[in-house]
Structure 1
Amino acid sequence: MCLRTSSHPKCLKEGVGDRAAALCPEAKRLNRKTSYPIEGVRIVLALRPAAGILSPAPGEDSRLFPMSRRPTSPAGMRALERTAPAAVLGAAGLIRDIESLSPEEDPQSMSNGKFDADVAVIGAGPGGYVAAIKAAQLGASVVCIEKAYLGGTCLNVGCIPSKVWISSVERLQHVRHAEQLGVKVTGSVEPDFAAMNARVEKIVSTQRGGVGMLFKKNNVKHIEGTASFVDANTIQVVKDGQKQTLRAKCTIIAGGSSVMDLKIPGLEGGAEANVWTSDDAVFPKFIPKSVLVIGGGAVGCEFGYVLNGLGSKTTVVEMMTSLIPMFDEDLGAELQRAFKKQGIEVLTGAMVEKAEKTKAGWKCHVKTPSGVQTIEAEVVLVGVGRKANVEGLNLDKIGVKQHKRGIEVVNNKMQTHVPNIYAVGDVIGKIQLAHVASMEGIVAAHNAVLNDGKEMDYKSVPNCVYTVPEVASVGLTESEAKSQGHDVTIGKYNFRANGKAMAIVEQDGFAKVVAEKKYGEVLGVHIIGPHATDLIHEGVAAIKLEATLDYMVDTIHAHPTLAEPLLEAFEAAAHGKSIHTL
């Protein structure tokens, strides 16, 4: 739709007469109303065909919209002018009316007094900084409060540094096995630990600086310090004993999460005692001779892969019956087979009951289905457990409710029980993934600034593990689909039969598709293999668009590519057998 405020602003800003129709042919046929909420009011626009110099249709009032009835706040004016200059709107007869929003429709109606910002964001991780930038782009004045580093856990001690380590180890392994490609390597191939660490630090620093540049470009004010609520519109920020107070119409809480202490008898002392968390593992002081990793989820498996590749004798202990238990069981089983080939020992259905400090490191007593095993390791890496960063925010004081995993949101608009306060990312304890936090931040920004009813959709969230082979999944697993009552059809295809996988000597893994049998709707896509984390987005789109198997099978895939196993899996699910299945 052309003149719907934000979709095609050029048609209003630049379009006059026939030029408007040329810019957007839809303008020729529009003859309806739409509404746009700004600062406690609803601007009702009349959308109709472009005629003359956007002159009103016969019988319609062509008077300019009175200045006294325009939004007066800076955010309201910026939002309206971003969509179209007021003179153009008025002269075009596009403004039909202005209505007051009800308190339920306008979360800002509870605000009173003067404000320092339209939107305050607490936390500058992937949820917070994205929310801040989006709110600014939507026309709001924005401050973002961060007590540590821009980019949050993901950029500084999580997603980014861990992927740098993984890429270094992957390249190391490629060189070590270069003879498979007909490349002769002479001499020893060893990791340069100092250089690898320096590379991690450089990339993190560059990325962090990039967030700062984006803030400046979008006029987001960055405030360093620790935030706490005084009331629903007032925030106190403390840094180095100095206090400042600011008022905001809406606040988006994006404080993220932090590593949670795992209570295991005898296992204590922190990094100085060689008990590492994931935060410690991204900037290690040395490569341990041996490591026991507690937790076989994404964090544990990724660091297990890295340390094993760097030369550590590695054991991964997972309490559930499969590695990466949140994924389809077939993926976990395949990853365990790959780890075994790489020399990583995996114990599933197991848990560390207690630990003893030794001169060489740690002696851990692990309960397994076959009995208690004693495993000695120089380092114990705890790769499970995170807690929402809510302490000190004074949430009880302002009426923001919490559950055991974090802040409670009341709808998919990311609102809390206090209408002008939103929460996103790890702090709500829903799906603790950076990309989910970012989208939640965008949704919250839309509702805080425009109150446009934008909602979060969790149906098509991709989940990734960056081991070798990579693992990626979206939608329902096979067991989830069956437990929900779906009559399913399954399609699988192995990478070992794929020409591109053969060429790059990365043939472990497969693509798996779960679909509803009667109509063929794609319910889940699961990949383990080379570049799975990049390939998964075809599955994301399929589920988001509610695509059917026939639609996906009729989509041409380039040859030779790593995407072809997905096509074969879609075809196998649709017809029982794919073209290249023996």
Structure 2
Amino acid sequence: MANNYDVLIIGSGPGGYVGAIRAAQLGLKVGVVERSFVGGICPNWGCIPAKALLRSAEIIHYIEHAKDYGLIAEKTGVDIAGVVKRSRGIAAQMSNGVGFLLKKNKVDIIWGQATITAPGKVSVAASSEPAPKGALPAGEYTAKNIVIATGARPRALPGIEPDKKLIWTYFEALAPASVPKSLLIMGSGAIGVEFASFYKAMGSDVTIIELLPQILPVEDEEIAEHARKRFEKQGIKILTGAKVSKVVKGADSVTATVETADGKSQSITAERLISAVGVVGNIENLGLEKLGVKTDRGCVVVDGLCRTNVPGIWAIGDVAGPPMLAHKAEHEGVIAAEAIAGKHAHPMDKLMIPGCTYCMPQVASVGLTEKKAKEAGYEIKVGRFPFIGNGKAVALGEPEGLVKTIFDAKTGQLLGAHLVGAEVTELIQGFVLAMNLETTEEELINAVFPHPTVSETMHESVLNAYGRAIHI
């Protein structure tokens, strides 16, 4: 039957399209239901266009500091329309690329809003968005396995709901018509600090409000503090242990009442407010309650192989819970596809999932923080190495940074690595591989790192944990 599949995936984001391609590689008949844009949030309204904006911010930052490199760049400025146009063009290129990959692997795209009406049955209603060429129409479809990959959306706080004009989510923040002179950002996770970096570079007066005691709450405290000092040095204002309790809208501004942990309050007026207080899984209108699929705090509950409590129904990516990262979704897509195909799929180990934040300075980490390692009962050895001791970092004009490594003192096992500084989002994969290979400190110490590279800071941090650092 034309409308019958081995695997039907609801959502074409990083988890959905990667899972679809892997399932097709394994010889399964695969369809993907999408209602908005091929590729999902990441390439269209998340990871990729955001990085394009941040690249523009990075370049304007270096131009403004040209004299530090012995160069002359007397006239600088920001063409925000051009910056956004470049970002949106890259997003379109990525989305088209996903469509090409699905077609290449003979995966059907079914255009519309999916509802699981019964085990193995999906009803697809027409979407208001224009369908891509070659997409199959709305209708009734059946599948032996249904994979929920519907992603997540910005969380809205009561009374501070985004209105697309004065109060933005990342959707509006990614494509501004103009650069606001002043900006208030609620939340200092990855989305919040990345937009803080971008808009500060574009010329905005930026203030971050964070409810918890530290910014970048999931990161190691020492790394987060280092990042905070760098942000504040750039002129970004930061209030931690504070919350926005009320927002009053003006004609072209918002005034927020901010309450701090000591019971004091203040009013802050800004042209725009970005709500970056997290995301919530898209679990509504899928028919999950009727089917008895278990959910918890806005996400679908799954086991290590992405199976829900209902046979034949799987869930991957953001909708399956934290960490809500594109690479985690992709990996879960592969796990689910291989499990469905009867292969020896490996369960996800969330401690091995790296986190990357592309602010200025960049932040990257994997494994346990120092605090978490102690709470887990480990006796630890901690190594640190600052970028100022690295010749390549100094030559690049990036001497402010830190690499921190955490080892089990008894076994030499690498428990965690935490970095802040230039291009650390590229460096972190070295530690990810080391942890996956169960590398000990001895093997890392004996590895030869190329010179001159910023990666030498990784080696020196390991050496420092064992009292052997050379360049500090």
TM-score normalized by the length of structure 1: 0.78
Counterparts of 1:240 and 1:482, CA distance in 2 = 51
Q: Is the 8 A contact 2:36 2:127 kept in 1?
A: no
3-state DSSP of counterpart to 1:236: strand
Counterparts of 1:332 and 1:375, CA distance in 2 = 24
Counterpart pick for 1:376 among 266, 269, 274: 269
2:13 is the counterpart of 1:125: yes
In the alignment, structure 1 segments of 5+ residues that lack a partner are 1-112
Counterpart pick for 1:525 among 417, 423, 440: 417
Q: Is the 8 A contact 1:115 1:249 kept in 2?
A: no
Q: Is the 8 A contact 1:459 1:544 kept in 2?
A: no
Q: Report the counterpart of residue 352 of structure 2 in structure 1.
A: 460
The code of the aligned residue for 2:283 comes to V
Q: Is the 8 A contact 1:353 1:366 kept in 2?
A: yes
Counterparts of 2:274 and 2:431, CA distance in 1 = 33
Counterparts of 1:276 and 1:519, CA distance in 2 = 48
Counterparts of 2:250 and 2:320, CA distance in 1 = 39
Counterpart pick for 1:314 among 199, 203, 206: 206
Q: Report the counterpart of residue 469 of structure 2 in structure 1.
A: 578
Q: Report the counterpart of residue 33 of structure 1 in structure 2.
A: none
1:396 Cα shift? 2.0
Q: 1:240 to 1:214 in 2, by over 3 A?
A: closer
1:114 Cα shift? 9.3
1:454 Cα shift? 3.2
Higher RCO by CA contacts (8 Å cutoff, separation 6 or greater): 2
The code of the aligned residue for 1:388 comes to G
3-state DSSP of counterpart to 2:88: helix
Q: 1:556 to 1:236 in 2, by over 3 A?
A: same
Backbone CA RMSD of aligned residues: 1.5
3-state DSSP of counterpart to 1:270: coil
Counterparts of 1:359 and 1:202, CA distance in 2 = 32
1:523 Cα shift? 0.2
2:149 is the counterpart of 1:254: yes
Q: Is the 8 A contact 1:130 1:441 kept in 2?
A: yes
Pairing 1:178-189 to 2, within 5 Å after superposition: 178-186=66-74, 188-189=75-76
Q: Report the counterpart of residue 198 of structure 1 in structure 2.
A: 85
1:259 Cα shift? 1.3
Pairing 1:210-249 to 2, within 5 Å after superposition: 210-240=97-127, 243-249=138-144
1:384 Cα shift? 1.1
Counterparts of 1:281 and 1:452, CA distance in 2 = 42
2:163 is the counterpart of 1:270: yes
Q: Report the counterpart of residue 218 of structure 2 in structure 1.
A: 326
Counterparts of 1:458 and 1:355, CA distance in 2 = 37
Counterparts of 1:450 and 1:141, CA distance in 2 = 15
2:449 is the counterpart of 1:557: yes
Counterparts of 1:538 and 1:373, CA distance in 2 = 45
The code of the aligned residue for 1:401 comes to K
Counterparts of 1:579 and 1:260, CA distance in 2 = 47
Which segment is superposed worse, 480-489 or 535-544? 535-544
1:170 Cα shift? 0.2
Counterparts of 2:12 and 2:22, CA distance in 1 = 13
Counterparts of 2:177 and 2:107, CA distance in 1 = 36
2:25 is the counterpart of 1:137: yes
Q: 1:392 to 1:195 in 2, by over 3 A?
A: same
Q: 1:269 to 1:467 in 2, by over 3 A?
A: closer
Q: 1:269 to 1:166 in 2, by over 3 A?
A: closer
Q: Is the 8 A contact 1:317 1:350 kept in 2?
A: yes
Q: 1:420 to 1:378 in 2, by over 3 A?
A: same
Counterpart pick for 1:432 among 324, 333, 343: 324
The code of the aligned residue for 2:126 comes to K
Q: Report the counterpart of residue 357 of structure 1 in structure 2.
A: 249
Q: Report the counterpart of residue 299 of structure 2 in structure 1.
A: 406
Q: Is the 8 A contact 2:80 2:177 kept in 1?
A: no
Cα distance per residue 1:512-559 (max 9 Å; x no partner): 000011221100000001111000011101111121111101110000
Q: 1:373 to 1:150 in 2, by over 3 A?
A: same
Counterpart pick for 1:152 among 27, 36, 40: 40
Counterparts of 1:421 and 1:114, CA distance in 2 = 21
1:243 Cα shift? 4.3
Q: Report the counterpart of residue 279 of structure 2 in structure 1.
A: 386
Q: Is the 8 A contact 1:114 1:247 kept in 2?
A: no
Q: 1:243 to 1:535 in 2, by over 3 A?
A: closer
Larger Rg: 1
3-state DSSP of counterpart to 1:314: strand
1:360 Cα shift? 4.5
3-state DSSP of counterpart to 1:364: strand
Q: Report the counterpart of residue 47 of structure 1 in structure 2.
A: none
The code of the aligned residue for 2:328 comes to V
Q: Report the counterpart of residue 390 of structure 2 in structure 1.
A: 498
1:576 Cα shift? 2.0
Cα distance per residue 1:3-39 (max 9 Å; x no partner): xxxxxxxxxxxxxxxxxxxxxxxxxxxxxxxxxxxxx
1:419 Cα shift? 2.0
Which segment is superposed worse, 129-138 or 424-433? 424-433
3-state DSSP of counterpart to 1:127: helix
In the alignment, structure 2 segments of 5+ residues that lack a partner are 129-136
Q: Is the 8 A contact 1:408 1:428 kept in 2?
A: yes
The code of the aligned residue for 2:269 comes to E
1:115 Cα shift? 6.5
2:380 is the counterpart of 1:488: yes
Q: Is the 8 A contact 2:15 2:333 kept in 1?
A: yes
Q: Report the counterpart of residue 116 of structure 1 in structure 2.
A: 4
Counterparts of 1:417 and 1:205, CA distance in 2 = 37
Counterparts of 1:383 and 1:430, CA distance in 2 = 16
Counterparts of 1:526 and 1:329, CA distance in 2 = 10
1:376 Cα shift? 1.0
Aligned residues: 463
Q: 1:133 to 1:307 in 2, by over 3 A?
A: same
1:446 Cα shift? 0.4
3-state DSSP of counterpart to 1:430: coil
Counterparts of 2:148 and 2:230, CA distance in 1 = 40
1:453 Cα shift? 4.1
Misfit runs of 4+, over 3 Å? 240-243, 451-454
Counterparts of 2:372 and 2:221, CA distance in 1 = 11
The code of the aligned residue for 1:257 comes to A
Q: Is the 8 A contact 1:405 1:428 kept in 2?
A: no
Fraction of identical pairs, as percent: 37
1:451 Cα shift? 4.8
Q: 1:268 to 1:122 in 2, by over 3 A?
A: closer
3-state DSSP of counterpart to 1:252: strand
Q: Is the 8 A contact 1:328 1:526 kept in 2?
A: yes
1:268 Cα shift? 4.7
2:51 is the counterpart of 1:163: yes
Cα distance per residue 1:49-96 (max 9 Å; x no partner): xxxxxxxxxxxxxxxxxxxxxxxxxxxxxxxxxxxxxxxxxxxxxxxx
Q: 1:114 to 1:304 in 2, by over 3 A?
A: closer
Cα distance per residue 1:452-481 (max 9 Å; x no partner): 343222221100110111000000000000
Counterparts of 1:270 and 1:114, CA distance in 2 = 43
Q: Is the 8 A contact 2:39 2:99 kept in 1?
A: no
